[in-house]
Structure 1
Amino acid sequence: MKTIIIGGGKIGYYLFKTLRERGRQVTIIERDKETCGKIAEDIDGDIICGDGTDLEVLKEAGIEEAEIVAAVTGTDEENLVICQIAKLSFSSMKTIARVNNPKNTTMFKNLGIDNTVCSTEVITNLIEYALNEEDYRIVNTFGRGSMVLAELTIRETVTWCNKMIKELLLPEECVFVSVMRGEEVIYPKGDTGLQNNDKLLIVTNYSVLAELVDELYDGGKRKWKSRKMKLQA
């Protein structure tokens, strides 16, 4: 998975650094030569000095192979243009835009930007989880990016399979919204059973989602205090 970051300010710098530390394939574009030099002194990675609104610069950065473009400059207008260029040139690409003025959030979404966020941590988490993974994906974010609506796919190998909802245990800050079984949408009750290939919609935060993904798909050991599943009212 390749990510391209445009903007080498504080958010872009720490986003680039964090993703590199996590082993992600990432390139950063920054137009200021001095800023590029400072980034290069601290971080070993692909750094391109150029205008992120220039399609040729984006191609040099490898946008044709990228799956995510994160525009995190200090200007909302520039972030919007970058994401629109990415969308128009490569329609399947995920776009994430930093929004400096919260009033622009709705406009950005109406213009086709996939995610609009305001902090480094939220942007990093979106890149970690926003892609359509085989077993889980983020459907939407809200609360200024602090909460997520996530879809988890039940497999035969996970502990939740063939159990009723009332038997499930979850960490705090996690609400069970619905079960999708093929074309059928099931509103969860205590005696609703979970089957192979069911898709669960939950509302939670990023840290809890990471724990759930690790527990369900990566063989983790539960780190939270057990409690009964909450159902959406």
Structure 2
Amino acid sequence: MQVLIIGAGEVGFHTALRLSHEGHRVVVVDSLPERVRQISEQMDVQTLVGQGSSPAVLRTAGVHKADLVLVVTNSDEVNLAACRFARLLAPAATLIARIRSTDYLDFFEEVGAASLDVDTVINPEREVATQIMQFLAVPAASSVADFAGGMVKMLGLKIPPTCPNVGHPLSELRIAGGPRYLVVAIERAGKVIIPRGDDVILSDDLAYVVTRGENIDLVVEHFGLQSQPVRNLVVVGGGSIGRLVAQWARERGIKIRIIEKNEARCEALVDQLEDVTVLNGDGTDLSLLEEENVGAADVFAAVTDDEEDNVLIALLGRKMGARRTIARVAHLGYVPLVSSLGLDLVVSPRFAAVGAILRHLRAGKVLAVAPLKDEDTEVIEVEAQETSELVGKPLSQVKLPQGSLVAAVIRGEEVEIATGDTVVHPGNRLVIFVTRKVLKKVEKLLTVRLEYF
């Protein structure tokens, strides 16, 4: 696939890195020479210095050859202009644009993004708000991904020292008389392990567990975690993320308080949100946090535009007794470091944008994609084809490449957590864990390309 990426910031950089490693032909354009030089030094892609919204630059970059044009600069206006010219120069290409302005997003919903020459709009703030809402639904989990419309869930569970399963082989772990689950990956000391039956779970591991949606409470408790519902939420930061979270959480009946230091933004929030308490104040002010008794909050989230403040605020909330804490960070490289500080959820708009882009790249018979934190692994939902080698025989007889694992099979409204005896039929939906190294082998096995074209 020929891909043209306009914008070499973190989102463009990490997307280009991912696609180049998968063997796609990638061209990256950015107006800043230092960004272009960094990409040239770290990956095998073509680069060009220039303004991505310039028709001349787009022609030089070979836009007419592109199957996909991905526009992810920091300017919505540049992104929209680049899409307009790219549509004229490459009518058959698929266009994906990152758009942050709520005004533009609201207008897109009204008239349709296609009318403005964009096939798919990626909004990082909305993606982060969605992640936070998934966390609020399962607050014991560090991450939640939905498949098959929520019938199958993948939970990232941070294993506590009190977990009764610590030290036991995975082959021995089961809920007596209860539902099945499958541990598809374990993140330990920053590395992802693809476990086998004789592998064990250790304290502080991040275990990725696939189970049926209705069984999440039992699975969470099985791993020594509590699944208490969220009734009281405090959000520091009333920007796009904070406003969306407050709006959606209110609809779920959660009691919300927003702390925002910008007085004008507070007034706007009061006008926009009903039944939400808005406080004008600085989230780093310890006396304010004590006065508002944030230590009694079920979830305390710091989502301001200052990532350093967010980490400090979330740590203060944790120290004061908040049951679960969330921090928004901007830089992708900071996510593992901040996660190691003991916060329950660390969200990044840029990481969320990369994940959203990957979901749209894995099209065709691929129905959903959830990348893991290391970006080298992902879980996909794909429809089984008649020609697939997985079809018509027990999975124990299928030679899946090492680095891939069928986690669940969905047949209509029926969900089966996969075992060696599971038989896949044409039209079934499969939830598969796969590493980037074996992506092409899994493509061949499924007889479906795990990419856009």
What TM-score, normalized to structure 1? 0.60
Which sections of structure 2, spanning at least 5 residues, go unmatched? 125-349, 371-378, 395-405, 415-423, 447-453
Contact 2:384–2:429 under 8 Å retained in 1:
no
Deviation at 1:55, TM superposition (A): 1.6
| Structure-2 residue corresponding to 1:46 | 46
Candidates 110, 129, 135, aligned match of 2:362: 129
Partner deviation per Cα, 1:110-132 (whole Å, 9 max, x = no partner) = 131222223453255246413x4
User: Aligned partners of 2:43, 2:390: CA distance in 1, in Å?
Assistant: 40
User: What is the CA–CA distance in structure 2 between the aligned matches of 1:27 and 1:162, rounded to whole Å?
Assistant: 42
8 Å Cα contact 1:80/1:108 also seen in 2 = no
1:72 matched residue in structure 2 = 72
Higher gyration radius (CA):
2
Q: Distance in 1 between matches of 2:392 and 2:107?
A: 41
- Cα RMSD (Å) of the superposition? 4.1
Task: Specify the alignment match of 1:3 in structure 2.
Answer: 3
Which structure has greater helix proportion? 2
One-letter amino acid of the counterpart of residue 20, structure 1: S
Match status 1:219 vs 2:445: yes
* Counterpart residue identity of residue 84, structure 2: Q
Q: 1:119-158 to 2 correspondence within 5 Å?
A: 119=350, 120-126=353-359, 128-130=361-363, 132=364, 136-138=365-367, 152=383, 154-158=385-389
User: Which residue pairs with 1:171 in the alignment?
Assistant: 407
Aligned counterparts of 1:12 and 1:216: Cα–Cα separation in 2 = 26
CA–CA separation in structure 1 for the residues paired with 2:368 and 2:84: 21
1:111 aligns with 2:113: yes
Aligned equivalents of 2:433, 2:83: Cα separation in 1: 26
Change beyond 3 A, Cα 1:93–1:8: same
Residue matched to 2:160: none
Change (3 A) 1:210 1:124: farther
Decide whether aligned partners of structure 1 residues 219 and 138 sit closer, same or farther in structure 2, where only a CA change above 3 A counts: closer
Tell me by how many angstroms 1:157 deviates: 3.9
1:155 is aligned with what amino acid?
A: E
* Alpha-carbon distance in 2 for matches of 1:101, 1:30: 21
Q: Which residue of 2 aligns with 1:19?
A: 19
Q: Distance in 1 between matches of 2:443 and 2:15?
A: 26
Q: Deviations over 1:35-93 (max 9, x none)?
A: 32333333343110111111221111111111000001001121122122222332221
User: Which 5+ residue runs of structure 1 have no aligned equivalent?
Assistant: 142-147, 164-169, 177-187, 221-233
Q: Give the match for residue 31 of structure 2.
A: 31
Structure 1 residues 138 and 82, CA gap change in structure 2 (3 angstroms) = farther
Aligned partner of 1:184 in structure 2 is none
For 2:407, the aligned partner's letter is: P
- How many matched pairs? 186
Q: 1:25 to 1:6 in 2, by over 3 A?
A: same
Tell me the residue number matched to 2:314: none
What percent of counterpart residues are identical?
20
TM-score relative to the length of structure 2: 0.34
CA distance in 2, matches of 1:215, 1:171: 17
* Whole-Å separation in 2 of the counterparts to 1:41 and 1:64: 26
**Which range moves more in the overlay, 95-104 or 48-57?**
95-104
Taking a change above 3 Å as real, the CA distance of residues 77 and 59 of structure 1, as seen in their structure-2 partners, is same
Alignment partner of 1:36: what SS?
A: helix
Query: How much does 1:195 deviate?
Result: 7.5
Alignment partners' CA distance in 2, 1:139 and 1:91: 26
Question: What's the secondary structure of 2:63's corresponding residue?
Answer: coil
For 2:337, the equivalent position in structure 1 comes to none
Q: 1:149 to 1:103 in 2, by over 3 A?
A: farther
Residue 157 to residue 19, structure 1, CA distance change in 2 (3 Å): closer
